[in-house]
Amino acid sequence: MSHSEDRRALLRGAVAGALGLSSLAALGAESTSPKPSSSTTGSTALKGNIHHSVARWTFDFLTLEELCLVVKRLGFSAIDLIGPKEWHILKQHGVDSSMCNGAELNLEDGWGDSRFHQPLIERYREHIDLVADAGYKNLICFSGNKRGMDPEEGLKHATKGLKKILAQAEKRGVVLQMELFNSKVNHPDYFADNSAWGIELCKRLDSPNFKLLYDIYHMQISEGDIIRTIQNHHQYFGHYHTAGVPGRNEIDDTQELYYPAIVRAIQATGFKGYVAQEFMPNRATTAEKIESLQAAIRICDV
């Protein structure tokens, strides 16, 4: 057995062990069930009030196939931030692509700078059709960096550029979702580093097919006041991301946000989209990392 094959066997064993199974083959058999009846610890099924997901990049120590098996075993069936080349894996396992990506250039060169509009328009027109043809709904986008521009200039550029693709998104039933980042810790110079900028962009575009991806971790760092912002402006938010503050780790009692109250506030708005876990598991072993995902899902399952 090669080193890579040996590592893969060990990893698959760790995944199965974390889920209390003798093998991932057994897990794969269970994943054909449309709605698992129990979690890894034998507790009751998820309540069904919240549509749960998890960001692919935060669990990239698993293959996508393994992550599909894990999420199905944990009682939900969606993964965030997957591009067209891997959608076939999701479909094989009956897992939704809750937030599609791949149209963006990167996180810095975005819609707030007109210099990038031509390649962005070409890429998003292609991906809007790919998303729609695959039966998915959400496609992420980014404001990009200021590079000396003031907020109003960025709003004008983003409005002008996005209007060139919104008619296609509306026709195909695809929702463009611009993610809000903090510029204090993680993404210096980012335009959409506060909810007010993003909300104003939504108002100018005036389309049901443009929303904000409200990242709770980022907005806690940028501005706080999470629950009231959700209550007052939820109509502009089409998707939510979680993570602990500080550190982007588990959403447990080691950090300053109380997610049960936050998710109850989201539910109270009538939100029908996804709440996706995007924390970096701060645990030593693969089994413990998977257990931390299970715990986060339970915390948010209000």
Sign (positive/negative) of CA torsion 180, 103, 51, 71?
Answer: negative
Centroid of chain to Cα 227: 19
Q: How many residues does the chain have?
A: 302
Q: Is 56 helix (H, G, I), strand (E, B) or coil?
A: helix
pLDDT of 142 reads 98
Distance of alpha carbon 88 from alpha carbon 134, whole angstroms: 9
Helices within 74-192 (DSSP H only): 87-93, 117-133, 151-172
Contact at 8 Å (CB) between 80 and 274? yes
Q: Tokens 């054909």 map to which residue?
A: 32
pLDDT of 218 reads 98
pLDDT of 19 reads 67
pTM: 0.90
One pLDDT digit (tens) per residue for the chain, 302 residues: 665 555 555 556 666 666 665 445 555 554 444 443 333 334 459 999 999 999 999 999 999 999 999 999 999 999 999 999 999 999 999 999 999 999 999 999 999 999 999 999 999 999 999 999 999 999 999 999 999 999 999 999 999 999 999 999 999 999 999 999 999 999 999 999 999 999 999 999 999 999 999 999 999 999 999 999 999 999 999 999 999 999 999 999 999 999 999 999 999 999 999 999 999 999 999 999 999 999 999 999 99
Output b/e per residue, 259-296; b: 16+ Cβ within 10 A: beebbebbbeeebebbbbbbbbbeeeebbebbbbbbeb
Distance of alpha carbon 67 from alpha carbon 65, whole angstroms: 5
Take residue 115 and report the two structure tokens written for it. Answer: 């210099």
**What is the maximum span of the chain, computed from C-alpha positions, in angstroms?**
59
pLDDT of 261 reads 98
Q: Is 143 helix (H, G, I), strand (E, B) or coil?
A: coil
Helix (H) or strand (E) holding 3: helix 3-18
pLDDT of 25 reads 52
For 70, half-sphere exposure in the C-beta direction (CA atoms, 13 angstrom radius) is: 32
Distance of alpha carbon 237 from alpha carbon 230, whole angstroms: 8
147: left (phi over 0), alpha (psi -120 to 50) or beta: left
Nearest to 136 by CA among 89, 193, 95, 188: 95
